[in-house]
Amino acid sequence: PARRLEVFYARDYRSLLDMQSYGHDIEASWLMWDAVECMIPENEREPYKAMCLTLAESVYERAWTDHGLKNEMVDGEIDELRIWWVQAEAVVGFVHQWQKTGEAVYAQAAADTFRFILEHLWDKRPGGEWFWCVDEQGVPTPDKPIVEPWKCPYHNGRMCLEIINRS
């Protein structure tokens, strides 16, 4: 089994390209479980729990490093950029995985990703937000704005609320 989500589909639900979006996979691993808890009776949740845990485990194996989560892989080529929202979702996803499994490796992955955010993605200038992305060494990419239609504080704000709620 693929142990990942597909991203873009044709009308007949055939995948349009070989793309692995690590951020979407880790985000889905905890958001799907939230939906399950709201909609599925407790005695029927086990298959969904296994699916969510497998998805997060697969992201950890494929894309996590101690300097953040890789962005994606398209046609076998890995994009090593550390995108702001992918890192935010990694923190929540790995905390969720740790809470469901008790495996300390996921708590460490969340902590290491948060450390990477504080050291490299957080724009420390007065009034700063998070950089759009940094390279794998933590250097901000110069061609990306701090805010624009696809970049706002949604994922990082939600990360903070989720972690507070889970504490």
At 59-94, the pLDDT tens digits run: 999 999 989 999 999 999 999 999 999 999 999 999
The predicted model scores a pTM of 0.94
Q: Where are the beta strands (DSSP E) in 71-144?
A: 72-74, 77-79, 82-83, 133-134
Residue 4 has pLDDT above 90, yes or no: no
Q: Which pLDDT does position 83 carry in this prediction? A: 97
Percentage of residues of the chain with pLDDT beyond 90? 78
Candidates 128, 118, 117; CA nearest to 83 is 117
What are 17-30's pLDDT values in tens digits?
Answer: 888 999 999 999 99
Contact of 29 with 94, CB cutoff 8 Å: no
**Residue 155 dihedral angles phi and psi, to the nearest 5°:** -65, -40
Return the H-helix or E-strand segment holding 112: helix 104-116
